[in-house]
Amino acid sequence: MKTGNVFFIVDDDPDDQELFIEALQGIDEFCKCITAFDGEEALKKLNDGIPQPDFIFLDLNMPRMNGKQFLAQIKNNGKTRHIPVIIYSTSSEKKDIQDTTDLGALYFLQKPNRFEELSKALNEIISGILQKRQ
């Protein structure tokens, strides 16, 4: 896949961000990755005019503004509500899955233990979303 998509990764763990970016670049070599360490920073970047993301990958457990709070804010904003949000979390709690789905998340991806699993899951999710757009 060579689409040059813009991916916004909102996660407070720099190691997870780095692995995630590496996996994305293996799928889309022309992609642009933007990061934020919590929902508050992510909102600021969206409001300050970063390139409009094609996808937002969002962790749930972060300081200052968590993933659910951030998701609620962007889904209530006409400029950002259309952006597909994929939850990317260590949680597998049914309540987290239901809450984020109710708030407008498109997918819930539990953080895999292996890089290969992450790459495969991301490829399937992104390909599926892009096919639906066509």
Q: Is 113 contained in some domain? A: yes
Tokens of 5: 């998509």
For residue 121, tell me if it sits in a domain. yes
d(Cα 20, Cα 40) in Å, to the nearest integer?
20
Q: Does any domain span residue 117?
A: yes
Q: Is 81 part of a structural domain of the chain?
A: no
| Interval 53-61 mean pLDDT | 94
Taking the model in full, what pTM does it have? 0.91
Any domain includes 124: yes
What one-letter code names the amino acid at 84? Answer: P
Q: Is residue 114 part of a domain?
A: yes
**84 domain residue, yes or no:** no
**CA atoms in the 13 A half-sphere facing the CB of 20:** 28
Domain containing 114 equals 9-52+60-74+105-134
Q: What is the number of structural domains in the chain?
A: 1
Query: Nearest-CA neighbor of 92 among 103, 70, 108?
Result: 108
Model confidence at 13, in pLDDT bands (50, 70, 90)?
very high
The model's pLDDT over 76-115, given as tens digits with 9 standing for 90+, comes to: 988 899 999 999 998 888 999 999 999 999 999 998 889 9
CA-based nearest residue to 3, from 128, 132, 127, 117: 127
